[in-house]
Amino acid sequence: MTVLVLAEHDLGALSPATARVVAAAGALGPVEVLVAGQNAVAVADQAALLAGVTRVRTAADVGLEAETLAPLLASLAADYTYIVAVSGGVGRDVIPRVAAKLDLMPVTDVTAIHGPDRFERPIYAGNAIETVVSAQSRQILTLRASAFLPPPVAAPNSAPIEPIADAGSTAVVRLLATHRTEGDRPDLGTARIVVGGGIAVGSAEGFRLIEALAAKLGAAVGATRAAVDAGYAPNDWQIGQTGKIIAPDLYIAIGISGALQHLAGIQGAKKIIAINTDPEAPLMKLADYRLVGDLFTVVPALIEALG
């Protein structure tokens, strides 16, 4: 019943989402972690510390592109009952390809594990939840990290790290350019506090105000699809059905009316505070706390009041 979790990492750092997924996957069996791509060796050291990990396998010469990563995962599948990835950019890209190669139906965006073969996942932008039972010999899954708890604090583990022999492969696609959104804010998917801005923020300059409040609170910054489409915020800030899914302890929604596709991304938020001029906006109605007012007056005053 061994589980292989594909590590998600960026710039040499293991993602906090991977730690959550490793902890959640512990319910399925002993967990091994695969770290592929650039910086695999440095990331493997971090993965080896996670509680419950029995082995870390590295494949530094295999790129994170689906064309190279999927054959590697498929070739390792025989050793595992579960292949699990974070439901992020890399996991969503590669997991269905792996599943097809193995002639299996994957279960993706899992938000709850109810046994070895029973999983919950949202459909219709989170407006319905389906319980899926898989009688397949092997389960190929992606887990929404935001739906699972961070790992409890435990004594550091020191799982053995083993490189996979002959794992190199030739790239099929060629990377031309990378456009990285600058910033040192926490990861949106796993942040404990998120400050989000909508179309009412009005401009990229307006978003500086949202960022200032987030900085004050050590929070991640998010945006609605409308704000991203308008060019006020970068695409990787988008929260919603087609963007990132968040489940913070506190979500502060500023100038956001609450389109269905945005609400799909925030259903896991434990507490929602909404600030908007329109008390009838859908998000104002479902927020735990609401304040009616102009964001350009309220937010600076709030930053001031927070000291």
Partner 1 sequence: MQKILVAVKRVVDHNVRIRVRPDGSGVETDNVRLSMNPFDKHAVEAAVQLAEQGQAAEIVVVSIGPKGATDVILTALAMGAHRGVLIETDEKVETLAVAKLLAALVREEKPDLVLLGKQAVDDDSNHVGQMLAGLLDWPQATFASGIKVAGEGVEVTREVDFGRVEYALPLPAIVTADLRLNTPRNAALPMVMKARSKPLAVRPAAEFGIDLAPKLKIERVSPPPERSGGETLTDIAALARLIADARAEAEIG
Count CA atoms within 13 Å of residue 262 on its CB side: 25
What are 148-152's contacts with CB under 8 Å, separation 24+?
A: 148/20, 148/21, 148/23, 148/24, 149/20, 149/23, 149/24, 150/16, 150/19, 150/20, 150/23, 150/190, 151/19, 151/20, 151/22, 151/23, 151/50, 151/51, 152/23, 152/51
What one-letter code names the amino acid at 272?
A: I
Residue count, binding to partner 1 (CB under 8 A): 87
For residue 154, state whether it binds partner 1 (rule: CB under 8 A). no
User: Of 53, 60, 107, 214, which lies in the binding site for partner 1, with binding defined by CB under 8 A?
Assistant: 107
Pick the binder of partner 1 from 42, 112, 230, 250 (CB under 8 A): 250
Out of 63, 88, 198, 222, which residue is the one contacting partner 1 (CB under 8 A)?
Answer: 88
Question: Using the rule CB under 8 A, is 255 a contact of partner 1?
Answer: no
Contact pick of 39, 54, 136, 169 for partner 1 (by CB under 8 A): 136
Q: How far is 244 from 259, CA to CA, in rounded Å?
A: 15
215, 184, 214, 218: which is closest to 196 by C-alpha? Answer: 214
User: How far from each other are the two terminal CA atoms of the chain, in whole angstroms?
Assistant: 52
Euclidean distance between CA atoms 94 and 65, whole angstroms: 8
Decide: is 305 part of the binding site for partner 1 (CB under 8 A): yes
Q: Does 40 bind partner 1 (CB under 8 A)?
A: no
- Which residue of 170, 176, 205, 280 would you call a contact of partner 1, by CB under 8 A? 176
- For partner 1, the binding residue among 75, 131, 203, 277 (CB under 8 A) is 131
Give yes or no for residue 13 binding partner 1 (CB under 8 A): no
Please name every residue paired with 238 in a beta bridge, in sequence order, or none if there are none.
Answer: 223
Of the residues 12, 30, 89, 168, which one makes contact with partner 1 according to CB under 8 A: 89
Q: Does 153 bind partner 1 (CB under 8 A)?
A: no
- Interface residue with partner 1 among 27, 41, 154, 172 (CB under 8 A) is 172
In the set 16, 37, 63, 122, which binds partner 1 (CB under 8 A)? 122
Asked whether position 135 contacts partner 1 by CB under 8 A, the answer is yes
Burial class (CB within 10 angstroms; exposed 0-12, middle 13-18, buried 19+) of 188: buried
Q: Given candidates 49, 54, 61, 97, which one binds partner 1 under the rule CB under 8 A? A: 97
Question: To the nearest whole angstrom, how small is the minimum distance from the Cβ of residue 205 to partner 1?
Answer: 20
- Rounded to an integer, what is the distance from CA 111 to the centroid of its chain? 12
CA-closest candidate to residue 120, choices 149, 141, 137, 103: 141
Min dist. Cβ of residue 248 to partner 1 (A): 8
Q: Does residue 137 interact with partner 1 by CB under 8 A?
A: no
Question: Taking CB under 8 A as the rule, does residue 75 contact partner 1?
Answer: no
> Within 190-249, which residues bind partner 1 (CB under 8 A)?
192-193, 217-218, 225, 228-229, 234-236, 241-242, 248-249
- Shortest separation between residue 265's beta carbon and partner 1, angstroms: 12
Contacts for 96 with CB less than 8 Å, ≥ 6 apart: 106, 108
Can you tell me which of 77, 126, 148, 254 binds partner 1, judged by CB under 8 A? 126
Q: Minimum CB separation from partner 1 for residue 160, in Å?
A: 29
Q: How far is the CB of 9 from partner 1 (least distance, A)?
A: 11
296-301: long-range contacts, CB 8 A cutoff, minimum separation 24: 296/206, 296/209, 299/209, 299/210, 299/212, 299/213, 299/254, 299/275, 300/209
